[in-house]
Structure 1
């Protein structure tokens, strides 16, 4: 003789353990012959009504799912690692070792035109910041690294920057360095030929990239 309460328990166990929704036929194939699947599902659905987990029927298949009003609790934010391109790695290394440095100086060291997109990525990731302006004609924007840069590469200060070979191991440079790349002593946080942005000034460095896409 089939016990309705036991049938309900067995349906509950099957649905919890299932990797995908189950139909009434799927359940019937696993339960003793004559078990009232329909009544068991209705009773179980009523039992879970208003709870954190509900029993629902989707496309004639049954499953347990989080209550709709609690779906926001299941949201998970993940940070996806962004792999820097070779150009971005080299640009970051140049900024780290030559700061404060302008776009024109980055180009002179790398020997190729600097892409605005490359610097934008470094700014977006918080590895590089706009420091100020060079006290030269045109007052070009200067770039420097951030505390995030130090944290990312496990450095206490800029004085702990490694040599060229170690830079490759840390991922600061690709395996093929520009022929004219040099590794000077990191510059201080202040420079005699550098001035801060004026109060309320929003740095406009688009002119530094005129003619580039």
Structure 2
């Protein structure tokens, strides 16, 4: 690949990340954007790595999440930048209840898990609204049924969950506090948001 071709490909990939509604994978870039170029996955990753470096000291970073790569505001100032950037958008950040966040955390840390197991750990019933919200957001999905009477659904997180929380894998979740420590905290669970 010549230098001119490499610059053109880098500009194409960069533009694709800017206009995309969600993360883009190397495979998507190869099959949907760069179909007229004879590039292998490593060559595309090399261009992405150059873009990561290019944006390292700017207001946005090119970051890898579970589904691919996307631009995000810089993490050191994320809250400050988010406040000002939010003024430009009409979409309001949704507020989630403590019950929803606790349910999501249990699914993330204990997956696959049944609704009954979540209720047993939390000590209260999980409302249908909470499960419906998590399923509609595509943060959780049914991955099977537990081999017990009634065959309850087993829930697990999705790539959309990882993408939303800027994770590439579940191994990046913060360390889970013992339940005794969680009871001492009298504030909403914010470890995942």
* TM bucket, shorter chain: 0.3 to 0.5
More helix by share: 2
TM-score w.r.t. the length of structure 2 is 0.44
Larger radius of gyration: 1
